[in-house]
A and B are shown apart, each in its own frame.
Chain A
């Protein structure tokens, strides 16, 4: 594989230290950016020979990145955080400088559960909140614990499901049973009645709806408009050894993200994902969500789902440090972190917007000048440093300000906190701790 030299005139890109790379991915729609980077030649243009390895579990992706079998991988946005904080059964610093997209998940329930919810409130599907309240009524009257599935302990699916349940006063650790099962098994388990609902990415919501097995209530977009979901992560160690390679990877993925986001390319994108072995689902199902045509109950029919998967617009690829802080807040909320940490400081080690900016500048892509932003204030599109940004409302009307993360953690009624909140506040407010 000959290395194409980067004689782009004004660029100061270095030759990648390592040209043959292997990245891990999962069989989900949001491996799209990495798939496109490979299939449309963006990696190749940077002199990189990339093999994408489809893995069977997040645990395997994690382990293979740690031992170096994989140079990097698609990961759940909180996975590099869990690894770096040592709350996985090991402590290995990881970083991400690239978000693989916004949104993309949804909560789907069985037909029988839906009917029970309607029985409690015929208008249950007016909004995510009324749906959660109807669910609470069902839970209170039910003779067994309802079971909901998600994909991994440190997944946005887990945090979304919990957030939504808790909004109606449902304690996710007491009132229901949350379990992890592989995404590919969710539809059949729902059909068998082993589980009552799940939160997962595509194509597993569309599949359930199209097979008549389940009903999609709400999407992750509805819970928090344009929320983080997956990232491209590498070991800190790997970044230290191969900085130019990492930059070349970012450049390729930026271009791939831009391609993937273009409405004209969605058809071809669906074909790439289905026909080249990335996702094992019918083209119609994958195409449906990529075109934003998912059937979702808590949604005004006139509202389009064109932002169901966002790969590039709204600065979707930018690794906001505030997003890392949000995940950390939920990890504290649910007792996953017990240690007192300076949240902002650790977030800055793991999410690296500085690396993103260096890459973006090489290809003339505008990027935010700030590393953090407040979430939950924008009901319409807005402008940030000449970039068009999307809505960012939470369904419960709340606001997340990264300057007050500990207060945010403290304000939740439903929680499984496992940390000294006052100590956390002290550390956060220590002078020079910014």
Chain B
């Protein structure tokens, strides 16, 4: 029988990716939750076997409280025993995930799910890092173009020479090229005044 998985993740993009990956791997994703849902009711209604939560979710404490309630209600328990045949708790925490097993589901079956979840979380983080890097490079490019324009106008330089000057500043002062460009722009502003088109 397919394992029923519930996902709690504040990050909509990431949870969509994870949901698809789990479905592709044959799991049934019974619910996706972000903050504000009536979590306990959702869990009672959807009866998941496993709940995957992102570590940044404030709902974790609500989940923790459910195993202490005496009423007849699902009791999720956080997976927290390091066993050599299981995924590493430390790696899971580092990847930003916590997993809860509900009412007697065999924790051994969690392994495969966690592999999928951790891989997706890490992938997502790598994409985010790449995106940050790209944005930063794009920002640098704009600054360099602006600085080149200033040098060409003020000193009658060719585009190539202007670029080489910025590069030189960057190397001589051991700063990033984006910062060098920013410095050129700033100095030009001070010396020439505010005569932006």
Contacts and interface: CB of A to CB of B under 8 A. Distances in A.
A153 interface: yes
A185 B35 contact: yes
Interface stretch (A54-62, A124-132, A292-300, A318-326): A54-62
Contacts of A396: none
A387 B56 CA distance: 42
Given A63-B93, A179-B40, A152 B64 contact: yes
A392 to B, nearest CB: 29
A123 to B, nearest CB: 34
A76 to B, nearest CB: 10
A194 B62 CA distance: 15
Candidate in A60, A66, A90 with the most chain B CB atoms within 10 angstroms: A60
B68 A59 contact: no
Given A89-B77, A173-B70, A60 B90 contact: no
A151 interface: yes
Contacts of B56: 56, 60
A69 interface: yes
Candidate in A59, A90, A180, A416 with the most chain B CB atoms within 10 angstroms: A59
B55 A56 contact: yes
B61 interface: yes
Contacts of B62: 179-182
Interface in B157-187: none
Contact of A66 (B38, B55, B77, B80): B80
Interface in B62-106: 62-65, 67-68, 70, 77-81, 89-90, 93-94, 98
B40 A56 contact: no
B60 A57 contact: yes
A267 to B, nearest CB: 30
Interface string A328-339: 000000011000
B93 A89 contact: no
B80 A153 contact: no
A389 to B, nearest CB: 33
Given A90-B80, A180-B65, A194-B38, A56 B58 contact: yes
A60 B40 contact: no
Contact of B93 (A64, A173, A179): A64
B33 interface: no
Interface string A283-307: 0000000000000000000000000
Nearest to B88: A67
Contacts, number: 78
Interface residues of A, number: 28
B59 interface: yes
Given A63-B55, A152-B65, A56 B93 contact: no
Interface string B41-64: 000000000000001111111111
B36 interface: yes
Interface residues of B, number: 28
A59 B36 contact: no
Contacts of B89: 63, 67
A68 interface: yes
Contacts of A56: 55-58, 60
B61 A58 contact: yes
A13 interface: no
A153 B68 contact: yes
A185 B94 CA distance: 26
Nearest to B90: A67
A400 B15 CA distance: 49
A335 B68 CA distance: 9
B90 A182 contact: no
Given A67-B89, A89-B77, A89-B80, A59 B60 contact: yes
Interface in A153-200: 153, 173, 179-182, 184-185, 194
A60 B93 CA distance: 9
Given A67-B89, A89-B78, A90-B80, A179 B65 contact: yes
Given A63-B80, A63-B93, A153-B68, A182 B59 contact: yes
Contacts of A89: 67, 77-81
B72 to A, nearest CB: 14
Contacts of A416: 70
Given A153-B65, A180-B65, 6 more contacts: A57-B60, A59-B63, A90-B80, A152-B65, A180-B64, A182-B62
10 contacts: A59-B60, A59-B98, A60-B55, A60-B56, A69-B93, A89-B81, A152-B64, A153-B65, A182-B35, A184-B58
